[in-house]
Amino acid sequence: MEYAITAIGHVRGGRTDPIDDDWGSSRSIVELAPDRFTSDALAGLDAFSHAEIIFLFDKVPPEKIESGARHPRGRQDWPLAGIFAQRGKNRPNRLGVTICRIIAVEGTRLEVEGLDAIDGTPVIDIKPVMREFLPRGDVRQPEWVSELMANYW
């Protein structure tokens, strides 16, 4: 089944290249589509410390989409992991999700820090981060993930 989703806005500023590491201090703006939204859409978001940004990896061509297992970042010393056991951009629906620190909300513009999306990336949705939606209990992950993420932020 297919569904139609329209971007609510785009990432402005920040990085122009999808480099794998050092995203922690990257600042960018999520600019809402002016023909669809007014500042009312972001009203109250400034009371939150973080927002979850859902975006589209629109620069990934269809022939690069992965549906099976691969070695993360091509590292043969890491185990094969299914595409749904990693967060790579070559996903079947090319969706990315990141929790970012909110810097400012001005009109239809949301300034964030730590968004791992490049300038021009279509934004699908914005959600405030609420403690009650964070994981309950301990979070478990394989050791290779900690190594992969060591320099990501």
- Provide the pLDDT for residue 27: 95
20-26: average pLDDT: 78
The mean pLDDT of the chain is: 94
Read off the pLDDT of residues 111-122 as tens digits, 9 standing for 90 and up.
999 999 999 999
Residues 6+ apart with CB under 8 A from 52: 97, 98, 99, 100, 126, 127, 128, 129
Domains with residue ranges and CATH for the chain: 9-131+138-149 (2.40.30.70)
- DSSP lists the bridge partners of residue 128 as 51
- Provide the pLDDT for residue 135: 93
pTM: 0.92
- Is 48:111 a contact under the CB 8 Å cutoff? no
Q: Is the pLDDT of residue 22 over 80?
A: no
- Provide the pLDDT for residue 15: 84
